[in-house]
Structure 1
Amino acid sequence: MHDFDFQNARYLFTDVDDTLTTDGRLRPETYSALWRLADAGIIIIPVTGGCAGWCDQIIRTWPVQAVIGEGGSFYFSRAANGSVDCRYWAERESHKADRLAIIEAISALNPALDIALSKDHHFRLVDVAIDYNQDRRLSDAQVREVMQELLNRGFRVKKSSIHINVAQGTFDKCAMTRRLAAELFNLSTEELKAQSVFIGDAPNDESMFAFFPQSVGVANIVPHLDQLKCRPAYVTSRRCGAGFVELADQWLASIALPGSVTRK
């Protein structure tokens, strides 16, 4: 990452699971890196497959301006007075109907696969998450079978580092990122690309890697690279949260250079 150009970067979009977290935990040095970036004027927006319950906690307690959740199906933003607003990709009622259809389809899959929904299932608003690598373990072959069966039924299926996320609709992480940027910050597509950095770790980040020229994968993305048609422009030397700290340190060092301007 020695030639990474932070000159025009003002916005940081970041995945959460296994990008900010390390072995399921948010380590203090990673959380500190978020605050150091925010204090330097960087606008931080997590973009996660994580549930609405998690996103509510993030928007209320982390140094972030907004958070995109459940793979791009909604975003939470915080007003100047501290109140939180939620904007869905489509109508809330249509999302509820889609979710019921997904749960019904999952229940009809091969019982031998021993599929379990994620523990955060009841805190989700739009998508449905199947646990394959968090509290439960599915083999690579089982993951492929589950994903293909659900794709055959017409659902949108993405794999994070811990879940298989299933949804209906045209949204994904990148589509909602572009909508959020226009609605909250009045950014055009080209302005968003020029002023942003994205960092992630998994196949469900591929649309972000494809969109952002300044894209970064933490080192634990390496086993997934063969699955990606669009890869990150850079890969950190360290994994998970330590890789995020690596990016933050380099970004903050560039801001501290003579002639640079802290963005407040």
Structure 2
Amino acid sequence: MRTIPPLSDCPRAAWLPLRGVLTDIDDTLTAEGGIAPAALEALHRLHDAGIPVIAITGRPAGWSAPFAIDWPLRGIVAENGGVLLHRENGALVTEFAQDDATRLENFARLQACATAIVAAVPGAQLARDSAGRLTDIAVDHSEFTTLDDDAIAAVCDLMRAHGLVATVSSIHVNGWIGEHSKWTAARWAVKRLTGLDFDPRAWVYVGDSTNDQLMFERVPLSVGVANIARFLPMLDHPPAYVTASERGDGFAEVARALLAATG
């Protein structure tokens, strides 16, 4: 297995140009669906220091909405770039990457694909958060149901056969129609929520699985929390550094390093 430098090896100079933090949610901030206390404390410390944090997740808009209100985040992009949730004057604002007509047409195709997957792949079940999904579908592989690698590959193949983009997170196989991704989500959210054009050299990205590798590839200072070890054999583009701790404790390491370097 490839060796990734520990986060402790990251030089202080690498942190100095940063303007903010981009992060995955599941198994990066959370464990078993709940945010780790160390991660929540880290989010508050970053917020108090004036450092914006934007989460980008495969979770649905319905699941993400309360966290967009309660957590000290600038916003959440849900459904792998399909939906942006943020606060304005204390109220939750929901924006979409696609227009209404496109979403309606795609929704029918997504549901047809979901039905085909459940019928064709033994053991495949839609994610329990599917009711909150507006622009994608998700098949559970590790949250409440276990699918082996062959079954996960079969789900991905069926999604692609139906014209969907397919990615694998730490818990779900996500599929959607369109060109949006975590990368387009970063560009969209940074511009919309900070007023700045997205410069990947000015942000650190934190993630934990294969659906983060586009960000690992394109954001120079990228960090995997320690539980990424499970997915390293599947990554063509691993993160630049890895934390010593898993999940939310690993995210807290990133926050401490950034705050220590920038004062």
TM-score scaled by length of structure 2: 0.91
Matched with 2:127 is 118
Matched with 1:47 is 56
Worse-matched range after superposition: 54-63 or 112-121: 112-121
Runs of 4+ in 1 over 3 A off after TM superposition: 109-112
Contact persistence 1:50–1:69 (CA under 8 A): yes
CA distance in 1, matches of 2:153, 2:257: 37
Matched with 2:201 is 194
Worse-matched range after superposition: 244-253 or 126-135: 244-253
Counterpart selection for 2:252 from 238, 245, 253: 245
Worse-matched range after superposition: 123-132 or 95-104: 95-104
Instruction: For residue 112 of structure 1, report the CA deviation from its aligned partner.
Output: 5.2
Q: Deviations over 1:110-168 (max 9, x none)?
A: 44513211111111111111111111111111111111122122211111000011110
Matched with 2:139 is 130
Unpaired runs of 5+ in structure 1?
Answer: 257-264
Unpaired runs of 5+ in structure 2?
Answer: 1-6
Matches within 5 A, 1:56-205: 56-79=65-88, 81-109=89-117, 110-111=119-120, 113-189=122-198, 192-205=199-212
CA distance in 1, matches of 2:148, 2:162: 22
Q: Deviations over 1:147-206 (max 9, x none)?
A: 1122122211111000011110000011121122223323234xx223211100011111
Instruction: For residue 31 of structure 1, report the CA deviation from its aligned partner.
Output: 0.8
AA at the equivalent of 1:160: S
Matched with 1:211 is 218
CA distance in 1, matches of 2:60, 2:128: 10
Give percent identity, aligned residues only.
32
Q: What number of residue pairs does the alignment pair up?
A: 253
Give the SS at the match of 1:221.
Answer: helix
Instruction: For residue 210 of structure 1, report the CA deviation from its aligned partner.
Output: 1.5
Instruction: For residue 88 of structure 1, report the CA deviation from its aligned partner.
Output: 0.8
Contact persistence 2:59–2:79 (CA under 8 A): yes
Contact persistence 1:96–1:125 (CA under 8 A): no
TM-score scaled by length of structure 1: 0.90
